[in-house]
Chains A and B, each alone.
Chain A
Amino acid sequence: MALLEVENLQTNYGAIKALRGISFMVEEGQVVTLIGANGAGKSTTINTITGLLKPVSGSVRFMGQDITGWRADRVTKLRLIQVPEGRQLIANMSVMENLTIGTHIRRGEKIDEDLANIFTRFPRLNERRTQKAGLLSGGEQQMLAVGRALMMRPRLLMLDEPSMGLAPLLVNEVFQIIAEIKAQGIPILLVEQNARKALQIADYVYVLDRGQIVNQGTAEELRSDPAILSAYLG
Chain B
Amino acid sequence: AEPQKGGTLRVGFTQGSTSDSLDPATYSNDFMFATSYAVFSTLVEIAPDGSAKPDLAESYEATPDAATWTFRLRDDATFSDGKTVTANDVVASVRHHMGDQSKSGVKPLLAQITDIKADGDKVVVFTLQSGNADFPFIFNDYHLTIRQDQGDGTIDPDTRIGTGGYVIEAFEPGVRIELARRDDYWKEGAAHFDKVLILKVGDAAARMNALMTGEVDLIDRPDLKTIHMLERNRDLRIHTQNGTLHYTMPMHVTTAPFDDVNVRLALKHAIDREAIVQKVLKGYGTVGNDHPIASSMPFYNADLEQHAYDPDKAKHYLGKAGLDSLEVTLHTADAAFNGAVDASVLFSEAAKAAGISVNVAREPDDGYWSNVWLQKPFCTSYWGGRPTPDLMFSAGYAADADWNATKWQNERFNELLLDARAELDESLRAEMYGEMQMLCQTDGGALIPAFGQYVSAMNTRVAMPEKVSEMWDLDSQRFIERWWFA
Partners in one complex: no
Interface residues of A, Cβ cutoff 8 Å to B = none
